[in-house]
């Protein structure tokens, strides 16, 4: 249990949060509305077979292959679906997390209903017993996900060692990686760039950063973003 708690703290919990086995939604948020965890639900819709699982795979592959982010964790909810768990190295404002999920939705799953409180709602950390279904939510090996498409819960608690092993190899999303992903998503939408807490090389914050400023920041950190169109640089850049 101690090793599992350590992994949950490393990936999702905030400093000073409750022990992992007591952790539900509120400890994933700070009192001023910051979070280290972005959780996206993929619930089975009536009349579908494994469409929700295939959609999760599309998004998970896009996060890694197109947005250059670390692999997310995958869990079964204990009720009727799957969840993707994105781990952030540093807390971000809830509004930025919502914008990120909105951009992901527009690109990958525009037809999937997303509740207004999708980011701020309480979400229990696996492994945990779902009170409504009486089944266990748990992290799973993505390679076995299709086998849970019809029954997204376990009858018995999963082995803690196995849950720990699934989390040990996962990495947190760094601030530069998150900014890079946001910049890649923005051109597809044609909207103003997100307002993120991005530290400059001099320790300052980019407030109301433009897309061009984000690109210059990434260049300064030896990161080369790719876009669908060219962005003209300022003369003093």
Shared domain check, 152 and 114? yes
Q: What is the pLDDT of residue 45?
A: 78
Q: What is the pLDDT of residue 23?
A: 44
In a domain, 230, yes or no: no
| In a shared domain, residues 109 and 78 | yes
Q: Which residues contact 177 (CB under 8 A, 6 or more apart)?
A: 68, 69, 70
DSSP-assigned letters across all residues of 43-68: EPPTT-SSHHHHHHHHHHHHHHHTT-
User: Is the peptide bond prior to 123 cis by the omega test (within 30 degrees of 0)?
Assistant: no
CB contact set of 143 (below 8 Å; sequence gap of 6+): none
Cα separation of 177 and 153, whole Å?
A: 32
pLDDT at 136 exceeding the cut of 90: yes
Listing from the earlier edge strand, what are the strands of the sheet with 34-43?
34-43, 81-93, 73-76, 136-139, 128-129
Give the span between the Cα atoms of 213 and 233, in whole angstroms: 9
Confirm whether 140 is domain-assigned: yes
Asked whether residue 194 falls in the same domain as residue 85, the answer is no
Tell me how far apart the alpha carbons of residues 229 and 128 are, in angstroms, rounded to a whole number.
45
Distance (Å, rounded) from C-alpha 13 to C-alpha 174? 15
Both 35 and 98 in one domain: the answer is: yes
Mean pLDDT of the chain: 78
Q: What is the CATH number of the domain that holds 24?
A: 3.30.70.3300
Residues 163 and 189 reside in one and the same domain: no
| pLDDT tens by residue, 161-184 | 999 999 999 999 999 999 999 999
The SS3 of residue 228 is coil
Number of domains in the chain: 2
Same domain, 111 and 164: yes
Q: Over the stretch 198-215, which tens digit does the pLDDT of each residue have?
A: 333 333 344 345 555 555
Does 151 share its domain with 184?
no
| Residues 73 and 39 placed together within one structural domain of the fold | yes
Q: Is the distance from CB of 140 to CB of 74 less than 8 angstroms?
A: yes
**pTM exceeds 0.85 for this model:** no
Predicted pLDDT at 173:
98
In terms of domains, do 122 and 199 share one?
no
DSSP per-residue letters across 123-138? -PPSSEE-TTTS-EEE
Looking at the structure, tell me whether residues 158 and 183 fall in a common domain: no
Whether residue 237 lies inside any domain: the answer is no
Whether 119 and 81 map to the same domain: the answer is yes
Provide the 8-state DSSP code for 195.
Answer: -
In this structure, is residue 225 part of a structural domain?
A: no
22-79 pLDDT, tens digit per residue, is 444 445 777 788 899 999 999 887 777 888 999 999 999 999 999 999 999 999 988 8
Orientation angle between helical segments 51-65 and 94-108, nearest 10 degrees: 110
pLDDT of residue 202: 35
**Residue 226 forms part of a structural domain:** no
Residue 149: domain span: 2-168
In the block, which residue shows the tokens 């250059």?
68
For tokens 């409750």, name the residue. Answer: 18
Does residue 36 share a domain with residue 55? Answer: yes
Question: Is residue 57 a part of any domain in this protein?
Answer: yes
Q: Compute CA distances 219 → 113, 163, 222, whole Å.
A: 37, 38, 5
234 found inside a domain: no
The reply to whether 233 falls in a domain is no
Q: Give the confidence band of 141 by pLDDT, cuts at 50, 70, 90.
A: very high
10: exposed, middle or buried (Cβ count in 10 Å: 0-12, 13-18, 19+): middle
pLDDT one-digit tens code per residue, 78-99: 888 999 999 999 999 999 999 9
């Amino acid at each position: 249990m101690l090793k599992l708690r350590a992994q949950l703290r490393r990936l999702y919990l905030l400093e000073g949060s409750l022990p992992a086995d007591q952790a539900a939604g509120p400890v994933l948020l700070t009192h001023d509305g910051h979070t280290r965890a972005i959780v996206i639900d993929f619930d089975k819709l009536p009349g579908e077979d494994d469409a929700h699982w295939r959609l999760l795979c599309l998004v998970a592959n896009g996060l890694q292959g197109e947005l250059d982010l670390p692999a997310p964790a995958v869990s079964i909810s204990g009720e009727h679906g799957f969840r993707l768990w994105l781990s952030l190295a540093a807390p971000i404002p809830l509004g930025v997390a919502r914008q990120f999920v909105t951009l992901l939705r527009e690109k990958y799953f525009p037809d999937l209903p997303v509740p207004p409180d999708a980011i701020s709602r309480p979400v229990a950390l696996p492994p945990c017993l779902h009170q409504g279904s009486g089944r266990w939510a748990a992290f799973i090996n993505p390679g076995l996900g299709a086998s849970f498409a019809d029954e997204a819960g376990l009858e018995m608690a999963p082995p803690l060692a196995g849950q720990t092993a699934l989390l040990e190899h996962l990495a947190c999303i760094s601030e530069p990686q998150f900014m890079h992903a946001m910049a890649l998503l923005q051109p597809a939408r044609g909207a103003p760039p997100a307002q993120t807490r991005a530290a400059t090389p001099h320790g300052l914050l980019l407030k109301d950063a433009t897309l061009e400023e984000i690109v210059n920041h990434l260049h300064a950190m030896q990161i080369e973003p790719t876009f669908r169109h060219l962005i003209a640089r300022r003369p003093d850049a």
